[in-house]
Structure 1
Amino acid sequence: MENKQLEEARAFYYGFFSKLFTFISTEDRFNGVEEAAKMLHQNALEANSKEALAHFIENFDEKKLVQEFDDIFYDLANDPVPTTASFYNEEIENGKMKVKMIGIVLASKFRKNEEFKDTEDDVGFIFPFMHYLILKKIEGDEKTALLEEKTFDILNTFIDDFIENVYMHTAANLYKDMAVVLKAFIQTERMYLEKPKPTIEKVSKRNDITTVADKEAKLRKQKKQRNKENLVCSLEEGGDVEDEV
C-alpha cells in the first residue's frame, strides 16, 4: 500500500496514546511507554513536541505517571478532566456521540471485551480503536479506511478541548508534556486525513427535568471556564510538521 511507513507511524502514535489515556487496571499498564517516547523523540514531529518528549523522558517515573492519571481523570476533589465526546458536545455522558461510535464499532470486526472499561466515545477507547483500524488497513482491509475517517471525525470534534484541559490541569506534569505531543500529532492527522479543525457551536441538551448529572456537568464546565479566564495556556499550535515520522 502507498505510504505504508506513514501508516505504521500513525498506528504507533495511536498505540502510544492508548497506553497513556486508556484505563487498564493492571500493574504493567505503562510498560513500554518510556521506550516508545524515546523512539518518538528521535523522530519528533516538530520542535515543541521534541522538547516535551525530552522533558517526559528525563522525568519519567511510572508511579508518578499513575498518580497523575488518577489525579487528572478520576479525583473528584480535583476537577477531573472529561474524556468523552458526548460530554464535550452535549454536556452529558452517553449522548449522541456514543451512539455514533457504537455504530462505527459494530461496522468493524472489533468487539469490546472486559479489557476495555471506557465507553466507545471516550478517548481511552478511540485511541486503541484507531490503532486497530490502521493496522487492519495496512493488512489490506480497505473497509477500515472509511471507519477510520468516521472515527476521526468524532475525535476531531472535541480533542482540542480535551488537550487544553489536560495541559492546564493543576496535577499535570508528565501529562502536560503528553498534551503537547498529542496536539502536534492531531495537527498531522488533520493534514493527512484532510480534516480541518472544526468550528462547532456546542448545543446543551436540556429537558424539562434536569438530572443531577446534568447539573454537575454544568458546574464543572463553569469552573473550567473560570480557570481558563484566570490562567494563560502556553500550548502553541507548533511549527512546520514533517511529512514522515
Structure 2
Amino acid sequence: MARDVLESVANARALYYDFFAGLFLYELLSERSNVLLKQVKILKENILDERDSVHFELLESELERKGIEQILREYTHTFILPFAVPQDNVPLPQKNKKEKKEMSNSQIMLYLSHYLEGHLNGKALLQARTLTKQSTFRLNTQECKESEEHLGFLLLLMRYLLLSPNEGDRALSVQVVNELVIPLGDFVVDALIQREDLSYYASVGYLLQSFLNVERSLK
C-alpha cells in the first residue's frame, strides 16, 4: 500500500480514536462540546456502516440544540454513579423482575481487569503499563486521570501511536489494539447495548461496535 494511503488510513483511524476518547474520558467530554460536534459532522459523512447514520444524527442534534449537558449527565449515570448495584449475593433465579432490570442498569466499568479477572488493577493493568512504557507516549494528567487499563486512556494511546513519527510506536499500535482495545471495547459495547435506560451512549455503543469491526479486519 502506498505511503500516502497508509497515512490517510492512519489519520482516519486516529480521528475515530480521538472521537471515542472524548466520549469515554470525563475530563475531555466536559470541555469538548465544540470539538465533539465537529467530529460528529465529519464522521457522519464517512460512516463505516450504513446503520451508523442515525446514531451520528442523534448526537449531532443533541449537541446543536443543548450542547454537552445531557450527554455528560448520561455519562455520570452510566459510568460513575450507578443507578443500581448488582446484588451478587442473591441467586439469579430468585431475583424478581425489578431486581433484574436494576442489574441491567448498573454501573458499566471501563477497566479491562474488571472483565477478565473480576477486579481492578489486575494482570491487564500490568500489560497495559508494560506496552505504554514501550512507547514514547507520556500521559497528560489534565486530559486523563484514569489508569492505563481504562478504555479512555487506551483510546488516547492509540491515537498517539497512529500519528507518531516513531516507527516503534506505529508498530506497537498493532499489539495495543489487538490485546487491549478490542477485548475491552467488545465488553463495553455489549454492556452499553444491553442497558435499557440509555439514549446517547447506546448510540455510542453501536458506533464503537462498527469501528471495532473495522479494526478487527485490519489484523
Task: Provide the TM-score with structure 1 as the length reference.
Answer: 0.73
Instruction: Report the Cα distance in structure 1 between the residues aligned to 2:8 and 2:158, rounded to whole angstroms.
Output: 16
1:45-94 per-residue CA deviation (whole Å, 9 max, x = no partner) reads 11111221122212334110110100000113342101011111001100
Q: Does 1:111 align with 2:114?
A: no
Q: 1:12 corresponds to which residue?
A: 15
Q: 2:203 corresponds to which residue?
A: 177
> What amino acid maps onto 2:156 in structure 1?
P
Instruction: Report the Cα distance in structure 2 between the residues aligned to 1:17 and 1:25, rounded to whole angstroms.
Output: 10
Aligned counterpart in structure 2 of residue 122 of structure 1, from 131, 134, 150: 150
Q: 1:77 corresponds to which residue?
A: 83
Instruction: Report the Cα distance in structure 2 between the residues aligned to 1:35 and 1:29, rounded to whole angstroms.
Output: 10
Q: Does 1:142 align with 2:167?
A: yes
Query: Identity, % of aligned pairs?
Result: 23
Taking a change above 3 Å as real, the CA distance of residues 7 and 27 of structure 1, as seen in their structure-2 partners, is closer
Instruction: Report the Cα distance in structure 2 between the residues aligned to 1:77 and 1:50, rounded to whole angstroms.
Output: 29
Structure number with greater CO (CA < 8 Å, separation at least 6) is 1
List aligned pairs for 1:88-103, cutoff 5 A.
88-103=115-130
Moved over 2 A (4+): 58-61, 167-171
Q: 2:92 corresponds to which residue?
A: none
Which ranges in structure 1 are unaligned for 5 or more consecutive residues?
195-245
1:183-222 per-residue CA deviation (whole Å, 9 max, x = no partner) reads 1000110111x1xxxxxxxxxxxxxxxxxxxxxxxxxxxx
> What amino acid maps onto 1:12 in structure 2?
L
Q: Does 1:151 align with 2:151?
A: no
1:78-119 per-residue CA deviation (whole Å, 9 max, x = no partner) reads 421010111110011000010001011111111224222111
Cα contact 1:45–1:184 (8 A) shared by 2: yes
Taking a change above 3 Å as real, the CA distance of residues 94 and 143 of structure 1, as seen in their structure-2 partners, is same
Length, aligned pairs only: 190
Q: 1:23 corresponds to which residue?
A: 26
Cα contact 1:20–1:30 (8 A) shared by 2: no
In proportion to residue count, which structure has more helix? 2
Instruction: Report the Cα distance in structure 2 between the residues aligned to 1:36 and 1:10, rounded to whole angstroms.
Output: 12
Task: Provide the TM-score with structure 2 as the length reference.
Answer: 0.81
> What amino acid maps onto 1:23 in structure 2?
Y
> What amino acid maps onto 1:87 in structure 2?
H
CA RMSD between the two structures: 1.7
